[in-house]
């Protein structure tokens, strides 16, 4: 019963805590880090209300200390993936009919748990699993995740209150049904917030979900599961499986009840899933929703009128925070020749002060990259740049995987605007810079637009308003999130809805009404109060 048009609490962005020395939050999070680091976990699959331990386990290690075992997680076989589907469909019978305000309450409660009693735990788990510093964990697994949950509740009510006009004697209504079937949420390693949001946003709209987190994020995903359970999410609404990604995906996409995919990750993986969906299209009961936010090769271009210091800081933060492993990270930059000596000097001075190491030491600005395969790939590109005549490694360039997968923040300057590292997504702390002739501003904008297949984020720096307008026009399709005089990272839910086009995804803007609209199937209801009793229209007479 919903005898009221309820107003949800107004969503506000969760304030970012400072973690300054002596602060309570710093003490709590570092204590939780220690405690979790020294406790072995045994992470089951979560299907329905059951915790399933198959005995087919994989070890978990923090990427910054790969000899320190954190515990294990259990892998699903095909039968368990199928069980996750049937369990979700069974749960749908009640969940899809639950009044919206109760669904809202569950996720608002989850937000409050994350903001309060679970903040330290989820931040510390994210620091350990994904090698995030205190600040990077706070803006991800606490603030962004909380914002997703709170704002999505508000967006849901916006969608539900969007109603058609009615003419005399008629009442037109639209109800926003959940999709018929289940949603497959498949999430990346780099944001705990995204990991939680992809299953939660679909579930909020009344859908049931099978969720497969990235193997390197399972450790922090377990805290999300705990929070959702404590918030009162009924069993079977979000079912969590891990194991062989290809097998899990093939099994889920082969189901006639597959109704949509909510993906964030690399372009190649998304393309392979879209291909499989196409191959299975005749088997599905309904056309599935395909939502994917994928790779990027995000740019910064400075106009000669811009300020060298501002550009240098944007590059240092934009390219190297979280080791360049944000989909939005600046990974290519275009600097005018007149400005380059100053930008280089400022960046060099800043990079010389940056410390790298365990996230447990708050004075470290950066930590390790996520995995050995990522480390090896990045090291290869750096070695190649050292050898190539059209590239020069001007900062960083050292790497060491003896303890963790550490790669120094590295800047490559190339004289070749089509150089490999200025085109390809590397997903690590490597920035490639092309120095252009000041007079070639307009040509360089074209270069920025055409160099990469991606179109996720991009930033221009300019004190000249005409140049800013020219860049905004010339780069209209080069980025889904475009920044003027700011770094291209750090989008905030409710303020800068996030997503890109071209090879960067379907641009369904996570953390906005646009995304939630993908998880509903509207039904239009026309009710006539006094139906006609004579088939003849007046014009017949
Ligand atoms: P990834 O593509 O390697 O993994 C994403 C998910 O797909 C994981 O759950 C993984 O286990 C699964 N997967 C991997 N290979 C698979 C296969 N063959 N079949 C089925 N599933 C498979 O991505 P990642 O390394 O976790 O994350 C980094 C990527 O995500 C980067 O490309 C980054 O740009 C992108 N990203 C994009 C956004 C965005 O909003 N556009 C946000 C975050 C990350």
Is residue 51 domain-shared with residue 121, that is, in the same domain?
A: yes
CA of 264 to the centre of ligand 1 (A): 6
Element (H, E) at 241: none
Q: Taking 90 as the threshold, does the pLDDT of residue 248 lie above it?
A: yes
Helix 145-161 to helix 192-204 angle, to the nearest 10 degrees? 20
Cite the beta strand spans of 187-256 per DSSP E.
208-212, 238-240
Is residue 386 domain-shared with residue 339, that is, in the same domain?
A: yes
Q: Tell me whether residue 41 is in a domain.
A: yes
Residue nearest to atom 23 of ligand 1 (CA): 265
Q: Tell me whether residue 112 is in a domain.
A: yes
Among 131, 259, 107, 260, smallest CA distance to 197 is for 107
Residue nearest to atom 18 of ligand 1 (CA): 246
- The 3-state DSSP composition of the chain as helix, strand, coil percent (nearest 5) reads 40, 20, 35
Cite the beta strand spans of 57-198 per DSSP E.
57-60, 71-74, 170-178, 182-186
Q: Residue 240 maps to which CATH number?
A: 3.40.605.10
Element (H, E) at 301: strand 298-302
Q: Taking 90 as the threshold, does the pLDDT of residue 348 lie above it?
A: yes
Distance (Å, whole) CA 321 – CA 135: 10
From the candidates 327, 360, 408, 425, give the one annotated as an active-site residue.
327
Is residue 257 domain-shared with residue 305, that is, in the same domain?
A: no
Query: How many CA atoms does the CB half-sphere of 531 hold within 13 Å?
Result: 4
Residue nearest to atom 19 of ligand 1 (CA): 246
Question: Mean pLDDT across the stretch 486-506?
Answer: 97
| Closest-lying ligand 1 atom to the alpha carbon of residue 187 | 9
Q: Are 141 and 113 in contact (CB under 8 A)?
A: no
Which letter does DSSP use for residue 154 in this model? Answer: H
SS3 285: coil
Query: Domains in the chain: how many in total?
Result: 2
Cα of first residue to Cα of last residue in the chain, in angstroms, is 48
> Strand order in 238-240's β-sheet?
50-52, 45-47, 238-240, 208-212, 182-186, 258-264, 289-293
Helix 218-231 to helix 100-115 angle, to the nearest 10 degrees? 130
Among 492, 512, 499, 138, smallest CA distance to 327 is for 499
CA of 188 to the centre of ligand 1 (A): 5
Which pLDDT tens digit goes with each residue over 174-202? 999 999 999 999 999 999 999 999 999 99
Q: Tell me whether residue 91 is in a domain.
A: yes
CB-based burial of residue 111 (10 Å sphere; 0-12 exposed, 13-18 middle, 19+ buried)? buried
Q: Rounded to the nearest 5°, which phi and psi values hold at 267?
A: -60, -45
Q: Ligand 1: residues within 6 Å at CB?
A: 186-191, 194, 212, 214-215, 245-246, 249, 264-266, 269, 272, 293-296, 327, 425, 427, 456, 498-499, 504-505
Q: In the prediction, which pLDDT does 168 show?
A: 97
Other CB atoms within 10 A of residue 469 CB: 12
Residue nearest to atom 30 of ligand 1 (CA): 265
Is residue 320 domain-shared with residue 285, that is, in the same domain?
A: no
Report the mean per-residue pLDDT for the chain. 98
Question: Mean pLDDT across the stretch 69-96?
Answer: 98
CA of 373 to the centre of ligand 1 (A): 14
CA of 249 to the centre of ligand 1 (A): 13
Mutation to probe ligand 1, out of 76, 201, 269 (largest number of atoms < 8 A from CB): 269
Distance (Å, whole) CA 124 – CA 137: 8
Residue nearest to atom 34 of ligand 1 (CA): 295
Residue nearest to atom 42 of ligand 1 (CA): 327
Among 430, 328, 320, 429, smallest CA distance to 365 is for 320
CA of 423 to the centre of ligand 1 (A): 19
Q: Tell me whether residue 3 is in a domain.
A: no
Residue nearest to atom 35 of ligand 1 (CA): 265
Is residue 110 domain-shared with residue 236, that is, in the same domain?
A: yes
Considering only CA atoms, give the Rg of the chain: 25
Q: Tell me whether residue 4 is in a domain.
A: no
Percent of all residues in the chain with a pLDDT value above 90, rounded to a whole number: 99
Q: Taking 90 as the threshold, does the pLDDT of residue 541 lie above it?
A: no
CA of 506 to the centre of ligand 1 (A): 14
Q: In the prediction, which pLDDT does 283 show?
A: 97
Distance (Å, whole) CA 427 – CA 263: 18
Distance (Å, whole) CA 485 – CA 301: 10
Based on the residue annotation, tell me whether 327 is a catalytic residue of this protein: yes
Which pLDDT tens digit goes with each residue over 17-34? 999 999 999 999 999 999
Question: Mean pLDDT across the stretch 143-151?
Answer: 98
Q: Tell me whether residue 494 is in a domain.
A: no
Is residue 79 domain-shared with residue 37, that is, in the same domain?
A: yes
Q: Tell me whether residue 105 is in a domain.
A: yes
Among 331, 407, 420, smallest CA distance to 376 is for 407
Q: Are 137 and 145 in contact (CB under 8 A)?
A: no
Other CB atoms within 10 A of residue 442 CB: 12
**Structure token digits, residue 248:** 């899990």
Is residue 336 domain-shared with residue 281, that is, in the same domain?
A: no
CA of 389 to the centre of ligand 1 (A): 33
Q: Residue 374 maps to which CATH number?
A: 3.40.309.10
**Structure token digits, residue 144:** 């962004």
Q: Tell me whether residue 191 is in a domain.
A: yes
Show the domain range for 229: 24-294+505-523
Is residue 113 domain-shared with residue 189, that is, in the same domain?
A: yes
Domain boundary, last residue among 455, 484, 513: 484
Q: In the prediction, which pLDDT does 2 show?
A: 78
Is residue 452 domain-shared with residue 404, that is, in the same domain?
A: yes
Distance (Å, whole) CA 157 – CA 172: 18
Say if strands 430-436 and 330-336 run parallel, antiparallel, or are unpaired: parallel
Residue nearest to atom 28 of ligand 1 (CA): 265
Say if strands 45-47 and 41-43 run parallel, antiparallel, or are unpaired: unpaired
Is residue 185 domain-shared with residue 217, that is, in the same domain?
A: yes
Helix 78-95 to helix 245-253 angle, to the nearest 10 degrees? 50
Is residue 219 domain-shared with residue 334, that is, in the same domain?
A: no
Q: Is the pTM of the predicted complex or chain greater than 0.95?
A: yes
User: With bands split at pLDDT 50, 70 and 90, how would you rate the model's confidence at 314?
Assistant: very high
From the candidates 14, 138, 144, 293, give the one annotated as an active-site residue.
293
Cα distances (angstroms) measured from residue 431 to each of 238, 321, 378: 38, 12, 11
Q: In the prediction, which pLDDT does 87 show?
A: 98
| Closest-lying ligand 1 atom to the alpha carbon of residue 370 | 25
Question: Mean pLDDT across the stretch 414-433?
Answer: 98
The size of the chain, in residues, is 541
Q: Are 400 and 408 in contact (CB under 8 A)?
A: no
Distance (Å, whole) CA 329 – CA 314: 10
SS3 182: strand
CA of 269 to the centre of ligand 1 (A): 7
Is residue 257 domain-shared with residue 378, that is, in the same domain?
A: no
Q: In the prediction, which pLDDT does 1 show?
A: 67
């Amino acid at each position: 019963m919903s005898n009221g048009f309820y107003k949800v609490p107004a969503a506000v962005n969760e304030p970012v805590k400072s973690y300054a020395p002596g602060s309570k939050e710093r003490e709590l999070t570092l204590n939780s880090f220690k405690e979790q680091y020294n406790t072995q976990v045994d992470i089951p699959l979560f299907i329905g209300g059951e915790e399933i331990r198959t005995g087919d386990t994989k070890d978990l290690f923090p990427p910054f200390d790969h000899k320190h075992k954190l515990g294990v997680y259990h892998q699903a076989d095909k039968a368990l993936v199928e069980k996750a589907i049937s369990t979700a469909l069974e749960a749908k019978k009640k969940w899809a009919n639950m009044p919206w305000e109760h669904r809202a309450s569950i996720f608002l409660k989850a937000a409050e748990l994350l903001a309060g009693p679970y903040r330290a735990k989820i931040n510390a788990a994210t620091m350990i699993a994904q090698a995030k510093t205190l600040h990077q964990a706070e803006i991800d697994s606490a603030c962004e995740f909380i914002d997703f949950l709170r704002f999505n509740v508000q967006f849901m009510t916006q969608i539900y209150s969007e109603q058609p006009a009615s003419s005399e004697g008629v009442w037109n209504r639209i109800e926003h049904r959940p999709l018929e079937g289940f949603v497959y949420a498949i999430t990346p390693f780099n944001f705990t917030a995204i990991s939680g949001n992809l299953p939660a946003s679909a579930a909020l709209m009344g859908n049931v979900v099978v969720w497969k987190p990235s193997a390197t994020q399972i450790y922090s995903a377990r805290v999300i599961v705990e929070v959702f359970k404590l918030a009162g999410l009924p069993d079977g609404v979000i079912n969590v499986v891990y194991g062989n990604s290809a097998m899990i995906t093939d099994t889920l996409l082969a189901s006639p009840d597959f109704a949509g995919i909510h993906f964030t990750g690399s372009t190649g993986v998304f393309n392979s899933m879209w291909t499989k969906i196409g191959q299975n299209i005749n088997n599905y009961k309904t056309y599935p929703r395909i939502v994917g936010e994928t790779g990027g090769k995000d740019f910064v271009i400075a106009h000669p009128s811009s300020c060298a210091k501002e550009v240098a800081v944007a590059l240092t933060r934009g390219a190297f925070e979280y080791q360049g492993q944000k989909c939005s990270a600046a990974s290519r930059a275009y600097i005018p020749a007149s400005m380059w000596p100053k930008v280089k000097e400022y960046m060099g001075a800043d990079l010389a002060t940056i410390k790298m190491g365990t996230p447990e030491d708050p004075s470290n600005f950066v930590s390790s990259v996520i995995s050995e395969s990522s480390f090896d790939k990045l090291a290869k590109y750096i070695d190649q740049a050292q050898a190539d005549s059209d590239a020069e490694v001007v900062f960083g360039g050292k790497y060491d995987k003896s303890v963790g997968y550490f790669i120094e923040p590295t800047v490559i300057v190339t004289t070749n605007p089509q150089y490999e590292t200025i085109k390809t997504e590397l997903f690590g702390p490597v920035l490639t810079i092309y120095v252009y002739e000041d007079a070639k501003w307009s040509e360089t904008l074209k270069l920025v637009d055409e160099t990469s297949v991606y179109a996720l984020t991009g930033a221009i720096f300019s004190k000249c308003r005409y140049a800013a307008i020219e860049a905004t026009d010339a780069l209209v399709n080069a980025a889904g999130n475009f920044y003027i005089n700011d770094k291209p990272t750090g989008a905030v839910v409710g303020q800068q809805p996030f997503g890109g086009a071209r090879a960067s995804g379907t641009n369904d803007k996570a953390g906005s009404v646009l995304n939630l609209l993908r998880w509903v199937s509207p039904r239009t209801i026309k009710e006539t109060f006094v139906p006609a009793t004579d088939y003849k229209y007046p014009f017949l007479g």
